Structure 1
Amino acid sequence: MNEYMIPSYFFAHGAPSIVLDQNAYTAFIKKFTASTPKPKAIVLFSAHWEQSMQTISAVDTYSTIYDFSGFQDELYQMTYPAKGERSLSDQIQSLFSKQGIQSEMDEERGLDHGAWAVLKLIYPEADVPVVALSVNRYLTNDQQYQIGRALSELREQDVLIIGSGGTVHNLRRLNWQGEGNDEWAESFDNWLQSKLETWDVDALFNYRELAPYSKEAVPTNEHFIPLLLAMGAGDKNRQAKLLHRSYQFGNLSLSCWQFN
């Protein structure tokens, strides 16, 4: 067995235009591979693929989904034709089954912008096989964590597990012309950082009641779920490290967390 365990990661995907942006966060993502060994495959949970049952992609080559409107024309010309990896999809279903997690395969769906916009910045050549996984906003936070934990052994097989979402993601509160960071957004993220770094899962699972400005930061939880999924995959060693945090439009958080 490989003694090295590749970390799992949470990446905020911000607005769909992130793939065209030139800022501190996109510069960070583009340099990500310089310090990370190239994985055998990528398993990615996207906030934009919601299913009532845990669903596992099992495609040969992904189409590109443009699940947004009103952005630059260039975005609609981009593609990310990553290959799937059916044997890995089967292995994931087996790992879920061992933990009593029901799942099903999807042989048609392409990659939404929560997946391809981030992956295009990390591996622009689309030369790493990808297995996309859905999220379910109606599970408890503990159940989300356990789904990630069920996949943790994949890290020993050079599989990169990514959760793609956003810790502060409230489109109604965005300040499109504003500069600087909103205090309430930073307050929530600071609380979150303290709980992640101490691996305080009890507090994290109850963030809605305990965290300052939780309702403003997380009006709906689908973008927060990928953080818990990526964290669960790091349950063995329980070490969390904030690699980057900045904001767009006053409060749209652009952060990356590493879980060892």
Structure 2
Amino acid sequence: MMPSLFIAHGAPLIAIEDNEYTQFLNHLGRMMPKPKAIVLFSAHWESRTQQVSRVEEYDTIYDFGAFPEALFRIKYPAKGYKEITNEMMHLFTDKGIPYEMDTERGLDHGAWVVLRLLYPDADIPVISMSVNPHLTPEEQYKIGKSLASLREQDVLIIGSGGTVHNLTKLDWTKGKGEVDEWALGFDEWLALHLEKWDTKALFHYESLAPDAAKAVPPYGNEHFVPIFYAMGAADNKQEAKLLHRSYRYGNLSHSVWQFG
């Protein structure tokens, strides 16, 4: 059965960098069984009602500024997969989860940066998904859980965001290996409860996790919540494994979690 993944997409620059993290993602894409399709929840697509893409071929969205021109020349022309999209519609309907179809939106950098590092040939169909940071973690988990059966069909479900993502706290002078204690403390609390599959604690991370408001600021929780969608998609095999963790700029977490 295909696992689900939570992958930190970091800063857009990782699309053109060669470093420890990009090398890991390149390797991960080569080592995993090739999926039939990918369902990806991106922190950079927010909506109150769950959006499900139904696109024949995606445009590439450059939802950032003040970065090198090389980033704006990248294309990731992944195709959609109508049959999987139709099945997802039935799964959402059966579970009473409201949704809307989107037939126009391209892939934002939370999606294409990760996908391009994993599968540079853009040869795997993609169904792009929004996240709703206004839902409770339990409700986000439920949406992921409703799609768990897709993993039995070799569909890879990914949540793309970041466990520690607070742009106001970044220190651009800090190099590799220099990690703020508060960021590490939050990630270690998270790891402890993910590995226990302790949803009771995880669903209340805002009040229980150390420095939660700093690691996951209220105005930026859209980057954290994809982890609940990805985790829920593996509810039928409650196992969590940390595949990679590193940091940039003192506290920007590059975490990759495998569920199931």
What is the CA deviation profile of residues 180-210 of structure 1, one whole-angstrom value per residue up to 9, with x for unaligned ones?
0111000000000000000000000000000
Q: Given the alignment of the two structures, is residue 183 of structure 1 paired with residue 181 of structure 2, yes or no? A: yes
Q: Which residue of 2 aligns with 1:11?
A: 7
Q: Which residue of 2 aligns with 1:121?
A: 117
For residues 58-69 of structure 1, what are the structure 2 equivalents within 5 Å? 58-69=54-65
TM norm structure 2 = 0.97
Q: Which residue of 2 aligns with 1:87?
A: 83
2:52 to 19, 34, 56: 56
Runs of at least 5 residues in structure 2 that lack an aligned partner in the other structure? none
Distance in 2, Cα, partners of 1:253 & 1:184 = 12
What is the CA deviation profile of residues 10-57 of structure 1, one whole-angstrom value per residue up to 9, with x for unaligned ones?
000000111112221111100012321100000000000001100100
Q: Which residue of 1 aligns with 2:213?
A: 215
Q: Which residue of 2 aligns with 1:225?
A: 225
Amino-acid identity (%): 57
- Look up the SS of the partner of 1:90 in the other structure: helix
Q: Given the alignment of the two structures, is residue 158 of structure 1 paired with residue 154 of structure 2, yes or no? A: yes
Distance in 1, Cα, partners of 2:128 & 2:135 = 19
What stretches of structure 1 move > 2 A for 4+ residues in a row?
none
1:35 to 31, 34, 40: 31
Distance in 1, Cα, partners of 2:162 & 2:187 = 11
Distance in 2, Cα, partners of 1:161 & 1:23 = 25
Query: Is 2:10–2:162's contact at 8 Å kept on the other side of the alignment?
Result: yes
Runs of at least 5 residues in structure 1 that lack an aligned partner in the other structure? none
Q: Given the alignment of the two structures, is residue 169 of structure 1 paired with residue 168 of structure 2, yes or no? A: no
TM norm structure 1 = 0.97
1:106 to 96, 102, 106: 102
Distance in 2, Cα, partners of 1:87 & 1:237 = 25
Residue 152 of structure 2 aligns to which amino acid in structure 1? E
What is the CA deviation profile of residues 78-97 of structure 1, one whole-angstrom value per residue up to 9, with x for unaligned ones?
00000001111111111111
Distance in 2, Cα, partners of 1:23 & 1:66 = 22
Query: Is 2:9–2:161's contact at 8 Å kept on the other side of the alignment?
Result: yes
Q: Which residue of 2 aligns with 1:244?
A: 244
- Look up the SS of the partner of 1:181 in the other structure: coil
Distance in 2, Cα, partners of 1:217 & 1:37 = 33
The number of aligned residues is 256
- Look up the SS of the partner of 2:44 in the other structure: strand
Q: Given the alignment of the two structures, is residue 145 of structure 1 paired with residue 141 of structure 2, yes or no? A: yes
RMSD between superposed Cα atoms in Å: 0.6
Query: Is 2:110–2:160's contact at 8 Å kept on the other side of the alignment?
Result: yes
Query: Is 2:164–2:187's contact at 8 Å kept on the other side of the alignment?
Result: yes
Q: CA deviation at 1:99?
A: 0.7
Residue 28 of structure 2 aligns to which amino acid in structure 1? F
- Look up the SS of the partner of 2:38 in the other structure: strand
Distance in 1, Cα, partners of 2:153 & 2:114 = 22
Distance in 1, Cα, partners of 2:67 & 2:258 = 30
Distance in 1, Cα, partners of 2:227 & 2:258 = 10
Q: CA deviation at 1:177?
A: 1.2
